[in-house]
Amino acid sequence: MRGSGAGTSEIDKAEARRAGAARLPALFTRRRSTGPGDADFDRRNASRAGLFNLGALWREEQAFGRVFLMVPVALAAGICWWFSLSQSPALPGLALYCGLSVVAAVLLRNGKGFPRLASAGLALFLCGAMLAATETGRRATVMLDSPVTTHIAGIVESREPTETGWRYVVKVTATDDPVIHRPPERVTLVARGNLPPVPIGHNIQGLGRLLPPSAPVMPGLVDFGFLSYFDGVGAVGFFYGPPKDIGRPPAPGPVAEAALAIERIRDGIAGRIRTVLEGDTGAFANAIITGERRALSDDMLDALRNAGLAHIIAISGLHMALAAGIFFSSLRLLLAMSPRAAEAVSTKKIAAAAAIAAALFYLLISGMQVSAERAFIMLAVMLAAAIFDRPAISLRNVALAALVILIVTPAEVVGPGMQMSFAATLALIAGYGAWQRRPAGGLASRRGALRWLWIAFSGIVLTALIGGCRRRRLPSTISRALPATGFWATCLPCRW
């Protein structure tokens, strides 16, 4: 029985302190099983189990059917492990171990507990290593080992304006004086000056200086040689003087001709933008439409970085959603204007299919950046779900996009583009998921203009906060051990 008077508040405070002290150890203790229904406990029981109870969190992931989200993480771990080795393991031995692990995972697929998860994780890990080894052997890019000055002849595959001239991606056909007996297949060369550029698909010739792609300036920085190898570029350099346009060669084949046609469309759009919008305005418009960012001045880049808006010039979900969303809404509105068409067909499904085609066109003219590929895959899955009347789960879309990119281009996982793109996307989805599960109350429970202002303001603040937090890096020792730190740091606690 509690006392009365002034002493009641002191007794209540003491009991509250004892209750808080008793709850603190529970955060770090294992949650006991309560029977067969233990896997179906809800979010309230999960929070009672404690934030650091990994077993409870893993059971919650299984209960929600989210184990699939860890598949790209396991693949990426294997890819990073293979690329971090100082010496590549023998491919036959790696293939043997990978095959045995896959067989073990298949045999234990109906089991329970740790053996099933361990076999599946090991199989995915080794499959990721096999993907990395396969792509490395498939690329077989010839890399220049020492600087050389030579006469270069080749075909312009793409071009991009810079502040002082043009940057060409050239498919080398011949070298002379001296002759390089094993020349790189593709090189990037900068030509300075205001002379008319050599058109895409034409032969280009000139005296140039070729250099090997640079290694990291400091430990932990970007390895441009690694990225160039998997881009198929074996050397970088510049022309001495303006290069010559030798004319258009014979048709190289249907696939190469299609790639050149896409580049010509990109170049035509970029040229039209530069004609209408001059200076940094046109360069910024080109950066968010065609992906050409080298024409941006240093002042513009510094201003974007200082304002925290440098990520806008990287084509990603914002740009893809705007392009496809505007096309989807406009086409559906046009179809809805005809009562006969609106009653005969599903205008939403037709608009969704057309929006996928529009997003694919935007992806092709944007330069196929990793962030754009991720955004397109997620958007295509969501629009396809609308066509087939299926729900689209955001986190599963992210995992599916990661799987596609890891299978097609495994080397992207150790690059900053994929890490930052997926880290930001996962952090935003997980953050807003936690925000939606919060108890209703305050201004969000009211109605009227004040509620909408609060939603808009809190959304902007929450987005900026999540985007700023995911930029924080792990200690340098951990980042050297796990190259894709941004990817891991956001993938693993996606439900926390």
Instruction: Check: CB of residue 225 under 8 Å from CB of residue 214.
Output: yes
Query: How many C-beta neighbours within 10 Å does residue 27 have?
Result: 12
Most trustworthy range by pLDDT among 43-47, 51-55, 253-257: 253-257
Nearest CA to 239 out of 271, 279, 268, 198 is that of 198
Q: Which amino acid, one-letter code, is at 389? A: D
With 90 as the cut, is the pLDDT of residue 185 above it? Answer: yes
pLDDT at 79 over 50: yes
Q: Which comes out higher in pLDDT, residue 215 or 152?
A: 152
CA–CA dist 13, 36 (Å, integer): 39
In this prediction the pTM is 0.74
Which residue did the predictor score with more confidence, 442 or 29? 442
Residue 470 has pLDDT above 70, yes or no: no
pLDDT band at 53 (very low <50, low <70, confident <90, very high): low
Question: Has residue 26 got a pLDDT over 80?
Answer: no
Cβ neighbours for 366, distance < 8 A, ≥ 6 positions apart: 289, 290, 291, 315, 319, 372
Cβ count near 88 (within 10 Å): 14
From the CB of residue 168, how many other CB atoms can be counted at a distance below 10 Å?
25
Q: Which of 296, 259, 243 is nearest to 274 (CA)?
A: 296
Q: Is the pLDDT of residue 240 over 90?
A: yes
The residues, any chain, with a CB within 8 Å of residue 62's CB and separated by 6 or more, are 39
* pLDDT band per the 50, 70, 90 thresholds, residue 15: low
The secondary structure of 185-220 as a DSSP string is SEEEEEEESSSPPPPTTSEEEEEEEEEPPP--SSTT
- Segment 12-30 mean pLDDT: 48
Is residue 293 within 8 Å of residue 324, measured between CB atoms? no
Helix axes 254-276, 347-365, angle to 10 degrees: 90
Non-local CB neighbours of 58 within 8 Å, separated by 6+ positions: none
Q: What is the pLDDT of residues 452-463, one digit of tens each?
A: 777 777 777 777
Q: Locate tokens 């951990």: which residue?
A: 478
Rounded average pLDDT over 427-450? 67
Query: Quick check: 238 pLDDT over 90?
Result: yes
Going from the C-alpha of 298 to that of each of 267, 282, 305, 353, 488, the distances in angstroms are: 23, 15, 10, 40, 32
156 or 43: which leads in pLDDT: 156
Chain Cα centroid distance, residue 333? 32
* Of the candidate ranges 63-72, 79-88, 122-131, 367-376, the one whose mean pLDDT is the lowest: 63-72
